Structure 1
Amino acid sequence: MPEPLPIAFVDCETTHLSAEIGEAWEVAVILRENGDPATDTEYVWQFAIDLTAADPEALRIGRFRERRQLAMGGGAAFTGCVPAVPMSRAEAVEAVVSVLRGAVLVGSNPGFDERFFRKLVGPGGAQWHYRPYDVVQLAAAKIGAQQAGPLPWRTHVLSRAVGVEPPTEDVAHTALGDARWARDVHDAATRRQPYEMTVEGRAQHAVGMYVEAAIALEDAERERDRLRQVLHLLRSGLANAQSAAHVVKLAKQAEAAVAQAPGTDGQPSDADALWPSAVLAALDGPSQPVMTGNYHFGRAWAGHAIEDNCPCKKAPCGLVSETSPECTEHGTTKSTRQSHPADACPGPDAPDA
């Protein structure tokens, strides 16, 4: 597989919407190499410009007068550090060309930025990849074009759709702030999904989430019932408590009594009203406390994904044959939803679903 090209997340603040009239006065680049976010390096420059044809609204939006760091008569400056480093315009342009050489430009409407970059570096200076990529289109591809709605797509809406909050007012319309935003949207839009982006993949993922939620709910119900028994025993003894030490002793006795109890009273719990009976039947009925002895058992209704990641001793079928005290999944307060006698173990040929 070929080595990935560098990615340059870019933005510039300009004196006009048209590159034929205005020019870039602030340029930001975040360079990523080998596709590794750990290599992200930020660069920011400001350039001296001719304000004769400048659009006052463009200057206001970019807060030109408030954020200008160039000294009077300066050609350019590297403003990615404090204090800014003065440099000639030629030096700054050469630095921009060097950073962008061979990189793929990514931004929010990067075609706009590229036009100003080309004007800045002059003929022959554009040595970056010829096809820039818009993070708005990447976000739309992530959630689906139909979900994104009719054109033109709104940057803020699609940014939030992939989980990225747009910049705050004091950060927006700064070259570096918008370059960081483009980077974050790109990363969110291109992040690998934990499931295939197909109807079947999404359905399997949804079923998995449902099963995990059902397991967590049943475990919570079991723990709630245990605590209720502890509180009941504790209340029974508090009336005759003689000291704080006696209360602690009663609490320990109540905990021990409940730990030795066979389980809940078998009455229907609140959870029974939450799930349709057909669904409960499909999930193989209620679970039982984690068992010990000559049995192989698992937490889920099928497969052994939970067991694959726990420290317990496993049988050839992939289920637990002996619990480990370090395991948080197969304790006495947990539940099991599949099991078979050890002498009837199907071995490694056991079905996973």
Structure 2
Amino acid sequence: MMTYHTKRTFLFVLLTLLLTGSANAQTHEAEGLKDVYRNYFTIGVAVNQRNVTDPTQMALIKKEFNSITAENDMKSGSLHPKEDVWRWQGADRIANFCRQNGIKLRGHCLVWHAQFCDWMMTDKKGRPASKRLFFKRLRKHIHTVVKRYKDVVYAWDVVNEAMDDGGPSAYRQSQLYKLYGDEFIAKAFKYAHEADPSALLFYNDYNASMPTKRDRIYNMVKKMQAAGVPITGIGMQGHCNIYGPSAQDVDAALTKYAELVSHIHITELDVRCNKEMGGQLQFSKGDTQQMTDSLAALQAAQYARLFQVFRNHKDVIDNVTFWNLCDGDSWLGVNNHPLLFDEHLQPKRAYYKVKHFNPNN
């Protein structure tokens, strides 16, 4: 039988444990994703102009994230629509937000077949630009952009989506490739390295964990590195869905890419609530799809699987970036519900799955 003093001691200890647990829980909730993952990798978000001018959205970014990517404002077509025309306002606003708040900035992207400076590929007579002319223009563009943001950008997606998903050619048959072969990839990395020798330079692509495309990316990067091209990182976009890719495919891709580079970024993560995946611009926007409990559970489970794999590869993954702040911003449409925050900036079930992981598993 407990004595009076024993009971008092027991109740005191129990109350202390309860209060300590409550305080710890409150502290954990006050922390953002960037704090929870401090021993793993930085947590990033792709932003638009609203995100960095609206006080509520700015506060959410500063709480949750310690890396930023400009969704569209640093793409070459946005910055440099004509040979002698530069539009810096949007990119500068995002860069200044990062500077003012001590947030790292990923540069996205210097060369992409879409949203590109197409004028570079045509001479004054309307004919395809020669290699000499094209590469002169490309070098000037890359040097101008990289040097402008050299103080705040720590990594660049130098070339984006140059590999084909599964056609007969390993390379996407873009106008860039048809006119300049894979030399445009090598030159872009060379020029970026000239402009900022300290920046991490990434090749970035979607479906990068699917075996066929994984091997194509691997072979291209290996070939380029053997020729002295300064590719220092691989970006896996991570446009996933609630069913795929499998944890096994993601793990295998990370393991394989780590043979070539010591820096891997998950650059454009979202998990849409359908069976589509990848970075193509043709997709269903889920115009009538409601976020049911079953879809929320499937999405949370997929996010949990992905982050378990990411944590297992923290030795090579430096950063995981979500592609947009909330469902209302998503390029996939609000009714595909792809992100951790809904259209009202409220955390979803998937947010808590990502945040409240067991570090011992």
Task: Answer yes or no: same fold by TM over 0.5.
Answer: no
TM norm structure 1: 0.20
The one of the two structures with greater contact order (alpha-carbon pairs below 8 A, sep at least 6) is: 2
TM norm structure 2: 0.19
Q: Radius of gyration: which is bigger?
A: 1
